Amino acid sequence: MYPLRPRLTKRVVLAITVIWMVSTIVSFPNLLFAKTEFDPDNNRTVCYIKWPDYPNSTSELVYSSILTLVNYVLPLGTLTVTYIQIGVELWGSRAIGEDTPVQLERIKSKRKVVKMMIVVVIIFALCWLPYHLYFIVAATATHISEYRYIQHIYLVIYWLAMSNSMYNPIIYCWMNSRFRHGFIQAFCCCPFKRCKRIKNKTKQGRPLFPDTNNTYAMTHKNDRNGSMSHTMTEMLENSSSSPNMKRKIIRKNNDFL
């Protein structure tokens, strides 16, 4: 929303510091109370947190609730609120002036970004919800740890939560052309023709004043700022002034852009 503002402000540094401190604090019980014991009945070694009030422990339920609040509810709420603000700003923003094909394409691109953010939030919510629900249920109904296939169920839930980080690059590549071009440039060894075509197109770029005989048609097709680029190009081509005057025209146009 504000691309020209500095990114690493004092508020951002403070927020990052607080996040690291809270993360360290909420992880500390694992360091203090985690134990490993051998289970002779199932012939395996188990790792669990043995709270001071074990076995009739309410600490486990409190701790699981805090983790759910800090690691799921707050991030999901933050993502939802901030993405709604960004979505409203991008979805309703329109350029000043006439609706040129370039402006319409930019509006369509911004709305794709909004859809991409919605998908990211939904995937985050779906991946992490079973993980946090599992620990809350396990803290209230301790007998579920005796189920035969509970270990397999837990592994499936755990893998689903950890896989959330894998889905984001896939979503970005699928729903955002800039990310897609960036991935293709990063993985330059891609053998497919489409990848090579996009790489060549990205390397060539798009000039401000195309070098062609039919300059009017090309500038009208490729201009980025409505009729401004076309007007400046016509002034350059039709002007009988000196080269110094042409350089002044180009400099003014660059300043405007």
Superfamily of domain 10-162: Rhodopsin 7-helix transmembrane proteins (1.20.1070.10)
Q: 83 with 115: CB under 8 angstroms?
A: no
pTM: 0.62
pLDDT at 34 over 60: yes
Q: Give domain limits for the chain.
A: 10-162, 215-256
102-106, 157-161, 173-177, 244-248: range with highest mean pLDDT:
157-161
Q: What is the pLDDT of residues 211-253, one digit of tens each?
A: 444 444 444 444 444 444 444 444 444 444 445 554 555 554 4
Q: 40 with 81: CB under 8 angstroms?
A: no
Cα–Cα distance for residue pair 104/96, rounded to 1 Å = 12
Pairing label, strands 44-49, 34-39: antiparallel
Q: 91 with 110: CB under 8 angstroms?
A: yes
Residue in 228, 230, 235, 251 with CA at minimum distance from that of residue 96: 228
Tokens of 15: 């927020």
Q: Residue 207's pLDDT is what?
A: 42
- Average pLDDT over every residue of 186-193: 65
Q: What is the pLDDT of residues 116-171, one digit of tens each?
A: 888 999 999 999 999 999 988 888 887 777 788 888 899 999 999 999 989 988 88
Cα–Cα distance for residue pair 89/1, rounded to 1 Å = 7
